[in-house]
Structure 1
Amino acid sequence: MQPFTPFEPCARIACAVSGGMDSTALLLLLAQWCRHAGHELLVLTVDHGLRSGSSEEAEAVMRHARSLELKGRILRWQGSKPTRAVQEPARQARYELLSRCCREEAVLHLALAHHAEDQAETMGLRLQSGSGLMGLAGMSAVRYLPDLRLMRPLLGVPKSRLEATMHQHGQEWSEDPSNRDERYRRVQYRVVLGTGDEGKELTRTLLSTSGVLGRLRAWSEAEIARQLACTVAFYSAGYALVHLAALQDVPDWLWHGIWARLLRTVGGAAYSARKATLDEARAFLQEKRRMPETVGGCRLKDLGAGRLLVMREPVGLPNVALKPGESQSWDGRFRFVRSQDCRVQEAVTVRGLGEHEAARLWRSVPSLQLSRMPRVTWASFPAVFCLDGLLAVPHLNYKCYKMRGKYGISCAPRPHHSLAESIFRPAVSGS
Structure 2
Amino acid sequence: MRLSFFSTIPVFIVLIVLSLFVVSVDAAAAPGPLSLLPRLELGNSTHPHAPQGSATDGGGEEHGHGHYTLPSVFWIAFSALVGTPLAVAGVRGWRLTTAAGLGLGLCFPVWVAFVNTMSSAGLSRSASRSDIILTLLVLGAFIVGWIIGFLPMGIRVGMVSTCVSGGFALGIMLAITKHNLLVPIFAINWVIIVALGLIGLITVIFHRRASMIVSTVTVGLFLDALAIDLAINGSRGMSRGLRFLMDRNSSHADEMIKRGYRPPVSTTIILCIAISFIPLVSILQHKLFPGPFERTLEAIEEWRTNPRTPRAHRTNGNRNSVAPSFISYPPPAKTRRFTRILPRAAPVEAMPYNYDPSLENTHGSESQGSVGVDSIVPPYSSTVAVEVSGPAGKEFYGSDEKKGMEHSEPMSEPKKAHLA
Q: Indicate whether the TM-score tops 0.5.
A: no
Highest CA radius of gyration, 1 or 2? 2
Q: Normalising by the residue count of structure 2, what TM-score does the alignment of the two structures yield?
A: 0.22
**Higher helix content, 1 or 2:** 2
User: Which protein has greater RCO, CA pairs closer than 8 Å, 6+ apart?
Assistant: 2
Q: Normalising by the residue count of structure 1, what TM-score does the alignment of the two structures yield?
A: 0.21
**Higher strand content, 1 or 2:** 1
